[in-house]
Amino acid sequence: MVNDPFKALSHPIRRGIVERLAGGPASVGEVTRDFGVSKPAISKHLKVLEETGVITRVVEGRTHRIALKPEVLDEAAEWMERQRAIWERMFDVVDEYLKEKR
Amino acid sequence: MVNDPFKALSHPIRRGIVERLAGGPASVGEVTRDFGVSKPAISKHLKVLEETGVITRVVEGRTHRIALKPEVLDEAAEWMERQRAIWERMFDVVDEYLKEKR
DNA sequence: CGGATCATTAACCATTTGGTTAACAGTAGC
DNA sequence: GCTACTGTTAACCAAATGGTTAATGATCCG
């Protein structure tokens, strides 16, 4: 299991899948067509994204409908924003420090 | 070289370093004390963060002053927000679809 | 100079990652 | 039932990742 959104998004193909799904749900085969790798490779990437909670899967007969579930992305984005915000308050002090050393 | 903010943040220690630096600059030794790994390990993590542009380094004699440079984090957060926003517009349609299949 | 200190680099190792092809499982349709 | 189709699992492999200890570089200070 993965369960780490940053790790899940650390591979360009997985980010590509997210972008693809932001345009609407798709089957595994449809997703595969957009990238230059085999279907098993995509299947593994989808598994990582699913375990992390970035996507959902509804099985319909023999096809799987994959859809984005962006709540986890939100959490990760909030983490980044939080770091930036804390830093922002610190900025003037450090800027002063760097100028002083120049 | 790395140059991929998501990859740079895919390791918990590197995120820990960012959190540490959000509280103000620090030396390599100071950062090392906060995590249960050796100094060479931290040195490598810092190299990754520096190549990605998440931190800066000012050498002062024999100590290095490491500081956060959050612009890159902003870009990554914006990517996430963008995916969420596109999805948001799509949400009603897909929600309807899922209900219909239930 | 010589020793102590701060940090990086080198060499090495185990594990994880990301890909492949081939085999398997389930469903659809004739 | 048989065949085609969609997707996952198995087995394997090369490369990348993340850690270690030991060696090296560079600076400070007595």
d(CA B68, CA B54): 6
Helices (H), B1-102: 5-8, 12-22, 28-33, 39-52, 71-101
Contact partners, residue B2, CB within 8 Å, separation at least 6: B8, B48, B51, B52
Q: What is the CATH number of domain A5-101?
A: 1.10.10.10
Query: Which band of pLDDT confidence, cut at 50, 70 and 90, is reported for residue B77?
Result: confident
Q: Residue B62 pLDDT > 80, yes or no? A: yes
pLDDT value of residue A88: 63
Domain regions of chain B by residue span = 5-101
Q: Reduced to 3 states, what is the DSSP secondary structure of residue A25?
A: coil
Note the pLDDT tens digit of each residue in A28-45. Answer: 999 999 999 999 999 999
What average pLDDT is seen over chain B? 85
Note the pLDDT tens digit of each residue in B20-48. Answer: 999 899 999 999 999 999 999 999 999 99
d(CA B32, CA A10): 24
Query: Which band of pLDDT confidence, cut at 50, 70 and 90, is reported for residue A72?
Result: confident
Find residue B44's DSSP bridge partners: none
Q: Which residues of B touch A (CB under 8 A)?
A: 4, 6-7, 9-10, 12, 15, 18-19, 21-25, 58, 60, 67-68, 70, 73-74, 76-77, 79-84, 86-88, 90, 93-94, 97-98, 101
Contact at 8 Å (CB) between B55 and B66?
yes
